[in-house]
């Protein structure tokens, strides 16, 4: 995932929000994880962190695949709101895939951090003042991992294009916990119509084999919503 090219980004308020949300993100993410882990521990169900983490990584992979597919398939660069912020970056990325490597951390995850901040605030509030059952703690832990890895996916995607990513990133890529360059290469092959999931790509074999997104396009076509390319 990429965002606007230099020169097309928004004004000072948006830049302030991007920076603030990027700084807040690790604190809120870790707080939500720790509070939900304590909830699991208090209920004698700390083992649920394992299925919670796996589910969160799967949900994140699905969300990023869905958003990526939608941006690659629908709308135009001139579409209000999402045209410049979502459609254009993904389409530019197919033409100039290495440009993402030049983006700093705020440019890479700032926009998604803005969307995630209220969710993390909600997770922290629920665990600090609300329900304390094992089910609630498990739901918050899974949701926190889902949102956290969805936000971080822009960074995972950037590492998948970098020639020399950090050593920890390379280890996570080799373990297939985050998107590997080898796996992501399939999406960067014309006509760019497979392997949309970019958190770790775990769901891509299933989504590709079942032609999930082609089926979804067919269903949407029946509702009168046509892809912007090859419609
Ligand atoms: Zn794409
Ligand atoms: Zn890419």
Q: Please state, in angstroms and rounded to a whole number, the distance separating the CA atoms of residues 140 and 136.
A: 6
DSSP state of 84: I
pTM: 0.90
In the chain, the DSSP E strands lie at none
Ligand in closest contact with the CA of 70: 1
* DSSP 3-state of 120: helix
The reported pLDDT for the residue numbered 119 is 96
Neighbours of 16 (CB within 10 A): 10
- Ligand in closest contact with the CA of 198: 2
Checking if the pLDDT of 10 tops 80, the result is no
| CA atoms of 120 and 143, how far apart (whole Å) | 9
Q: Please determine, for residue 230, whether its predicted confidence score (pLDDT) is greater than 80.
A: no
**Amino acid 82: pLDDT:** 82
Residues 35-39 have a mean pLDDT of 95
Closest ligand to the CA of 195? 1
Give the helix/strand (H/E) hosting 219: helix 212-222
Tokens coding 32: 């939500």
Q: Which helix (H) or strand (E) holds 25?
A: helix 12-42
**Cα(28) to centroid(ligand 1), Å:** 30
| Residue 72 CA to ligand 1 centre (angstroms) | 5
Using one digit for the tens of pLDDT, what is the confidence trace for 106-116?
989 999 999 99
Residue ranges per structural domain of the chain: 12-222
Per-residue CA distances from 141 to 10, 37, 82, 113 (Å): 33, 7, 30, 18
Residue in 202, 56, 50 with CA at minimum distance from that of residue 142? 56
Distance 158 CA to ligand 2 centre (A): 7
Element (H, E) at 160: helix 134-161
Average pLDDT over every residue of 32-40: 96
pLDDT reported for residue 14? 86
Ligand 2 center–CA 80 separation, angstroms = 24
Which range, of 22-31, 86-95, 140-149, 209-218, averages the lowest pLDDT?
86-95
Cα 122 to Cα 116: distance, rounded to the nearest angstrom: 10
How does pLDDT run across 148-207, given as a tens digit for each residue? 999 999 999 999 999 999 999 999 999 999 999 999 999 999 888 999 999 999 999 999
Among all bound ligands, the one having the nearest atom to the CA of 153 is: 2
Q: Do residues 197 and 62 touch, judged by C-beta distance below 8 A?
A: yes
């Amino acid at each position: 995932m990429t965002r606007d090219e230099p020169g097309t980004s928004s004004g000072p308020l948006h830049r302030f929000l991007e920076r603030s949300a990027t700084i807040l993100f690790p604190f809120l993410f870790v707080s939500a994880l720790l509070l939900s882990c304590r909830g699991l521990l208090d209920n004698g169900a700390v083992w649920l962190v394992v299925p919670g983490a796996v589910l969160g990584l799967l949900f994140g992979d699905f969300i990023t695949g869905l958003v990526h597919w939608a941006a690659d398939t629908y709308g135009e660069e001139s579409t209000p709101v999402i045209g410049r912020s979502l459609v254009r970056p993904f389409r530019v990325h197919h033409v100039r895939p290495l440009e993402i490597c030049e983006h700093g951390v705020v440019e890479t995850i700032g926009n998604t951090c803005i969307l995630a901040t209220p969710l993390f605030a909600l997770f922290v509030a629920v665990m600090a003042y609300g329900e304390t059952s094992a089910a609630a703690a498990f739901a918050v832990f899974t949701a926190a991992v889902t949102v956290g890895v969805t936000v971080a996916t822009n960074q995972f995607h950037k590492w998948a294009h970098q020639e020399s990513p950090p050593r920890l990133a390379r280890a996570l890529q080799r373990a297939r916990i985050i998107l590997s360059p080898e796996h992501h290469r399939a999406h960067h092959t014309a006509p760019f119509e497979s392997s949309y999931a970019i958190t770790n790509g775990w769901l891509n074999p299933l989504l590709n084999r079942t032609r999930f997104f082609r089926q979804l396009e067919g269903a949407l076509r029946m509702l009168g919503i046509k892809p912007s390319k090859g419609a």
